[in-house]
Amino acid sequence: MRFDDHDLPRIGLGTNRLRNTGENVTFIRAAVDAGVRMIDTAHLYTGGESEQTIGRALSPMPADVVVATKGGYGGAGHGRPQVLRNEIEQSLRSLGVDRIALYYLHRVDPDTPIEESLGAIKAYVDRGAIAHVGVSEVDVPLIERARGVLPIAAVQNNYSLAERKHDAVVDYCTREGIVFVPYFPLRGADTPAVREIATRRGATPTQIALAWLLARSPVMLPIPGTLSLEHLQENLGALEIALTDAELRALA
Ligand SMILES: NC(=O)c1ccc[n+]([C@@H]2O[C@H](COP(=O)([O-])OP(=O)(O)OC[C@H]3O[C@@H](n4cnc5c(N)ncnc54)[C@H](OP(=O)(O)O)[C@@H]3O)[C@@H](O)[C@H]2O)c1
């Protein structure tokens, strides 16, 4: 998939358990060496250690790696412009970058209109400190309100074989050419139908779960979370699996 003038393999890496250790710095470098080009983090993750580890591992940030981060998580009040400004400033420092490639509003604040939260993020876009903006856990009407403020490049929602409540959002993103990033993408891999297809193909059930997502839409870019290089390589292997129509029907 094309993003920010680069080719992105459609499997990324989730980092919500990443602690700032030497071993994990090595892991993030190895992930990039293995071909990962979308690394997903957030201000919230591991109390800031996830962003710090990525910054430590990749400084200076390679131009073709998209490190996506997020702010505004935590419920009422956390989407206020001042809270977001503080979090964006911290994320820029932790990641060691002048420009964040992709910045998501992590949650819509029930007490702050999405227009106000995104207005704060837009100020950073206007000054070149954020390149692209996304939203997370949103329905289609909220995406449309967000697009009234600024272009939305990505939507990140809970979606997998086991969680289909955002089918309408996937279809909308497909039509509009917005990257859809499913979080918890490996849920639902442990069913008889998945195991049967995996066994027949000599693949793992998690690879089949990812291959199903990739077949669901050309804008789909799952970010399975792992701290294991072996699992990461296995997850990238799903890019080579094209499920047949019969297999897709068995998983429908
Ligand atoms: N936007 C949001 O609100 C939101 C919410 C939650 C998560 N996220 C993002 O989504 C990412 C993905 O979610 P997640 O990491 O919680 O859930 P996940 O990707 O569904 O699952 C992660 C779990 O699967 C294991 N795993 C990964 N690859 C595997 C493989 N090939 N074989 C067997 N097990 C494997 C991991 O353990 P190992 O370490 O042992 O591989 C870990 O226990 C997060 O890291 C985060 O970046 C976003």
pLDDT at 148: 98
206 closest CA partner among 14, 21, 46, 23: 14
Res. 95: pLDDT tops 90:
yes
Torsion over CA of 148, 2, 10 and 117, rounded to 10 degrees? -20
Residue 157 alpha carbon, nearest atom of ligand 1: 1
Q: Which residue has the tokens 């800031």?
A: 48
Known active-site residue 172: no
Res. 230: pLDDT tops 90:
yes
109 closest CA partner among 81, 130, 133, 131: 81
Taking only Cα atoms into account, the Rg of the chain, rounded to an integer number of angstroms, comes to 18
Query: Is there a contact between 19 and 30 (Cβ–Cβ < 8 Å)?
Result: no
Average pLDDT estimate for 74-102: 98
pLDDT at 87: 98
pLDDT digit string, tens, across residues 161-184: 999 999 999 999 999 999 999 999
Give me ligand 1 centre to Cα 239, in Å: 17
Q: Count CB neighbours of 237 within 10 A.
A: 16
Give me ligand 1 centre to Cα 225, in Å: 3
User: How many angstroms separate the CA atoms of 53 and 26, rounded?
Assistant: 10
Place 4 in a pLDDT band, splitting at 50, 70 and 90: confident
- Closest residue to atom 39 of ligand 1, CA basis: 226
Catalytic residue among 45, 73, 124, 159: 45
Res. 201: pLDDT tops 90:
yes
User: How many angstroms separate the CA atoms of 221 and 174, rounded?
Assistant: 12
Give whole-number Cα distances, 125 to 102, 128, 132, 178, in Å. 10, 5, 7, 18
Sequence letter at residue 53: T
Measured from CB, residues less than 6 Å from any atom of ligand 1 are 14-16, 40, 106, 136-137, 156, 183-187, 206, 223-228, 231, 234-235
CB proximity list for 186: less than 8 A, separation 6 or greater: 160, 206, 209, 210, 224
- Closest residue to atom 4 of ligand 1, CA basis: 183
List the structure tokens of 90: 């911290």
